Amino acid sequence: MQMLTRRSALGALALPALALPALALPRAARAAWPERPVTLVVPFPPGGSNDVVARMVAQPLSREMGQPFVVDNRPGANGNIGAAQVARAAPDGYTVLVSGNGQNAMNHGLYRNMPYDSRTAFTHVAQLALLPNALVVADSFPARSLADLIRMAKEKPGGITFASPGSGSSGHLAMAMLMRAAGVEMLHVPYRGAAPAITDVIAGQVPVVMINVDIPLPHVRAGRLRVLAVTSEARSALYPDAPTVAESGFPGFAATGWLGLSVPAGTPPDIVARLHEVAARTLQDPQLRERFAASGYIPGGGSSADYARFIDSEITKWGSVTRDLSIVLE
């Protein structure tokens, strides 16, 4: 059994969490940017995982760069509005997108007319974090395992409802992917954010929710909710007794959210390299490591090219899910 323990997650950061550029930038190039505050665009409202991670990272980035990284929330259309604004921004390094699985991968399959192509509109700089989902039920719900839930869903097709933070969210599509793998149908109840979804599951209005692992933690500890499984490749240190979906009968299953940094296409390579280098050092920050571990976030890694290839693979992966299940947003 794999376990993402707090020690192993933090220990991984001692390795090159993000590959540093092979060649150091000239001192003059390093000094040229940034000369003023940098806008860090979060294409979702305050309080969600995108916003939380952005604010965690903005503090050490600001210290490293000597200029403020100012979080600017630009929500709408499942992240498309804010991301499109960054795609149209001047490629000068002063507008940076908190890129993620919704705005940079899932939406390509969800929307018929995307305002940008993530593969060409941006230069992808660095992956910051992986955000696993948890399959959670009210404590009063009879299913004690994922196998129980699937059996109940097969006995009553469409008779079990599940909540998510919204249509097109990571939780929504992770659950859709699981239903496809299990050959079952459950009714989706989308909410406007994580908080109301969790509230209704606790109240018994909806029995099941698929949501980022950090959100239900206090309620799980209080005994109001139970975690049936997590969607990451290895178990979460937040819920060490909860198996992965892969362990629960679906080998190879992984449906994890992720976040990173991207800039408009055409941003000078020296700025991209500088931002990547500083992002690597930021992920070594002891306070950030502690905060990531406490929230169940898994530090990202790899080069800028690795991140771009990863995003391309995610577009393909989630496009298959949305096509197979005819999931479309207007």
Rounded distance between C-alpha atoms, residue 154 and residue 137, angstroms: 17
Rounded distance between C-alpha atoms, residue 216 and residue 202, angstroms: 10
**Right CATH for 133-236 from 3.30.365.10, 2.60.120.260, 3.40.190.10, 3.40.190.80:** 3.40.190.10
Q: Are 86 and 262 in contact (CB under 8 A)?
A: yes
Structure tokens at 36: 């003023």
Please indicate whether the domains covering 3-131+256-324 and 133-236 agree at the CATH topology level.
Answer: yes
CATH superfamily of 3-131+256-324: Bordetella uptake gene, domain 1 (3.40.190.150)
Structure tokens at 63: 């210290």
What is the helix (H) or strand (E) element at residue 174, kind and residue range?
helix 170-182
Q: What global pTM score does this model have?
A: 0.85
Question: What's residue 304's pLDDT?
Answer: 97
Question: What's residue 27's pLDDT?
Answer: 46
Q: Are 129 and 258 in contact (CB under 8 A)?
A: yes
Structure tokens at 165: 């933070």
**Domain ranges across the chain:** 3-131+256-324, 133-236
Rounded distance between C-alpha atoms, residue 146 and residue 78, angstroms: 28
Question: What's residue 31's pLDDT?
Answer: 53
Rounded distance between C-alpha atoms, residue 236 and residue 70, angstroms: 31
Residue-by-residue pLDDT tens, the chain, 330 positions: 444 443 344 344 444 445 444 344 444 444 589 999 999 999 998 888 889 999 999 999 999 999 999 999 999 999 999 999 999 999 999 999 999 999 999 999 999 999 999 999 999 999 999 999 999 999 999 999 999 999 999 999 999 999 999 899 999 999 999 999 999 999 999 998 888 999 999 999 999 999 999 999 999 999 999 999 999 999 999 999 999 999 999 999 999 999 999 999 999 999 999 999 999 999 988 889 899 999 999 999 899 999 999 999 999 999 999 998 899 987
What is the helix (H) or strand (E) element at residue 187, kind and residue range?
strand 187-190
CA quadruple 54, 89, 75, 188: dihedral sign: negative
Q: How far apart are the first and last CA of the chain?
A: 42
Of the candidates 130, 131, 128, the one whose C-alpha atom is nearest the C-alpha of residue 18 is 128
Polymer length in residues for the chain: 330
The residue whose two tokens read 């239900």 is 216
Of the candidates 262, 224, 328, the one whose C-alpha atom is nearest the C-alpha of residue 54 is 262
Q: How far is CA 27 from CA 20, 31, 32, 42, in A?
A: 16, 6, 9, 30
Torsion, Cα of 212, 246, 186, 113 (10° steps): 60
* SS3 of residue 147 by DSSP: helix
Question: What's residue 308's pLDDT?
Answer: 97
Residue type present at position 278: V
